[in-house]
Chain A
Amino acid sequence: MSRNPYVREVPRTTWYMRNRRYIRYMLREVTCVFIGLYAASLTVGLVRLAQGPGEWAVYVNGISSPSGLLFSLLALGFACYHSISWFNVTPKAMRIPRGDDFVPGPAIISAHYIIWGVVSLVFLLMMGVL
């Protein structure tokens, strides 16, 4: 080992700010905050539904308020970013053998987008809005 090793200074809390790739990585990781908060708010909605019509109305008023809608908008944006970033790396996670080769990555990604669309349609149909 050399006597005076070179140590590159890396700022511990802001290292990702100097490269767009790193910023995108952190943005992708931060989607989990909104997934978690949405799951928690959905849980609160279920509690309100279980409590009765009055409590349910309070919950609906809350999510209909400007701050409630702003949260939903942010959550929707981050949730979609999660879906896109998640589906785009699926070929790395699943190697499907076909003949002497593997199913090509773009086919695996497309299949996920198609399933995403179908699942979304099924949810909307089940809720009776389509």
Chain B
Amino acid sequence: MAKSNKPIVWGLFAAGGTVAAFVIPVMILITGFLLPLGLFGSGEASYERMSEIVGNPLVKIVLFGIIVLALWHAAHRLRITAHDFGIRNDALVARGVYGFAALFSLIALMALLSI
């Protein structure tokens, strides 16, 4: 049987899409609206509060999982959608989108490890 990496690539895409569908809207609500509104305190207080929440190892693991899966989902979908927009250089698109996802996954990992 021919070997293919498609099940892994599409499996991660589906996992990321599902996780994103469940958590991204509420996360945007929290970080994009409630945080600017000052619901976690203003200035130094919001820093203390967020450091405490994100400092929890379980929260770090969950956040890392969400970020990596969401990035992968977005990268893979954008690669396929680029074709629909008439961009036919798949090799270049793949390098760009997966590279972006890998770079930000790495940055997220390093940031989480130093919080």
Partner-B contacts on A (CB < 8 A): 12-13, 16, 26, 29-30, 32-33, 35-36, 38-40, 42-43, 45-47, 49-50, 52-53, 56-57, 60, 63-64, 68-69, 71-73, 75-76, 79-80, 82-83, 86-87, 93, 112, 115-116, 119-120, 123-124, 126-127, 129
Given A36-B100, A72-B33, answer yes or no on A57-B54 (Cβ-Cβ < 8 Å).
no
Q: Which residues of B contact A129 (CB under 8 A)?
A: 30, 34, 39
Chain B's closest residue to A30 (CB) is B81
Within 8 A of A (CB), among B3-23: 14, 17-18, 20-23
A68 touches B36 (CB 8 A): yes
A40 touches B21 (CB 8 A): no
Within 8 A of A (CB), among B77-115: 77-78, 80-81, 84-86, 100-101, 104, 107-108, 111-112, 114-115
B73 touches A63 (CB 8 A): no
> Other than the known A29-B81, A36-B74, A50-B115, what 19 A-B pairs have Cβ atoms closer than 8 Å?
A39-B74, A39-B104, A40-B104, A46-B111, A46-B112, A47-B111, A49-B51, A49-B115, A53-B47, A56-B46, A60-B35, A60-B36, A63-B35, A68-B36, A69-B32, A83-B21, A83-B24, A119-B23, A127-B34
CA distance A20 to B104 in the complex (A): 35
Interface of B is mostly: helix
CA distance A88 to B8 in the complex (A): 23
CA distance A127 to B54 in the complex (A): 10
Q: Which residues of A contact B39 (CB under 8 A)?
A: 129
Interface of A is mostly: helix
CA distance A47 to B108 in the complex (A): 7
B23 touches A36 (CB 8 A): no
The distance from the CB of B38 to the nearest CB of chain A, in whole angstroms, is 9
CA distance A53 to B75 in the complex (A): 32
Q: Which residues of A contact B30 (CB under 8 A)?
A: 123-124, 127, 129
Chain B's closest residue to A90 (CB) is B18
Contact residue range for chain B? 35 or more
The distance from the CB of A70 to the nearest CB of chain B, in whole angstroms, is 10
Query: Contacting A80 at CB < 8 Å: which of B23, B25, B100?
Result: B25
A82 touches B14 (CB 8 A): no
Q: Which residues of B contact A115 (CB under 8 A)?
A: 22
